[in-house]
Amino acid sequence: MKQYTLITGASSGIGLEMAKQLAAKNFHLILVARSEDKLVEIQKELKSQFKVEVEYLLYDLSEPNAAQDLYKLVIAHNYLVTGLINNAGFGNYGNFVEASLKQDEEMIAINITALVGLTKLFWC
Ligand SMILES: NC(=O)c1ccc[n+]([C@@H]2O[C@H](COP(=O)([O-])OP(=O)(O)OC[C@H]3O[C@@H](n4cnc5c(N)ncnc54)[C@H](OP(=O)(O)O)[C@@H]3O)[C@@H](O)[C@H]2O)c1
């Protein structure tokens, strides 16, 4: 059975760079993000350049129960995940009082809640 490394936030920036570097080292990948057009393009590019399997799952990690639902999705696809890169996230800069509560909650959901949940589910 093929072993996969799951990378959250793999559609741009650091996550995309990690995907490229791992693919070059023959790691099979599951890319997670919300932007399907970008993930399709990245999948195509990595599969054509390297001899690896590249799957993607569209997922919004700010959703309630994101970690549990993503974990269930991975199990449903029968993917064996042996590596996890909790990269998805963002930082709101500026004055705390000026950021909306919705933005703060979204940041906590992705940067903390989903990260802790995915680590617990995939690793424990
Ligand atoms: N760059 C820096 O200097 C720096 C410094 C400190 C920490 N970091 C952290 O390092 C990580 C990567 O940073 P980056 O600069 O590479 O950021 P980036 O280019 O903005 O990429 C963020 C990635 O996270 C995904 N993402 C954002 N919200 C998401 C959501 N709700 N559900 C699923 N995926 C989501 C984005 O994909 P979609 O939009 O397609 O969903 C994208 O692939 C982040 O956690 C960031 O906070 C970065």
Q: What is the pLDDT of residues 32-90, one digit of tens each?
A: 999 999 999 999 999 999 999 999 999 999 999 999 999 999 999 999 999 999 999 99
Distance from residue 52's CA to the centre of ligand 1 (Å): 24
Task: Report CA dihedral (118, 115, 1, 79) to the nearest 10 degrees.
Answer: 70
Does ligand 1 have an atom closer than 6 angstroms to the CB of 87? yes
**Residue with CA nearest ligand 1 atom 36:** 9
- Distance from C-alpha of 121 to C-alpha of 74, rounded to nearest angstrom: 11
Query: Which pLDDT band holds residue 123 (cuts at 50, 70, 90)?
Result: confident
- Distance from C-alpha of 15 to C-alpha of 78, rounded to nearest angstrom: 23
Residue 30: predicted pLDDT: 98
Under CATH, which number does the domain 3-123 receive? 3.40.50.720
Distance from residue 1's CA to the centre of ligand 1 (Å): 30
pTM to 2 decimal places: 0.97
Averaged pLDDT of the chain: 97
Per domain, the residue ranges of the chain are 3-123
Residue 14: predicted pLDDT: 98
Beta bridge partners of 83: 5
Mean pLDDT, residues 2-18: 98
Distance from residue 70's CA to the centre of ligand 1 (Å): 17
Query: Which is the closest atom of ligand 1 to the Cα of 10?
Result: 43
Residue 40: predicted pLDDT: 98
Does ligand 1 have an atom closer than 6 angstroms to the CB of 119? no
pLDDT > 90? residue 102:
yes
Contact 89, 12 (CB under 8 A): no
At 112, which amino acid appears?
I
Does ligand 1 have an atom closer than 6 angstroms to the CB of 66? no
Residue 124: predicted pLDDT: 79
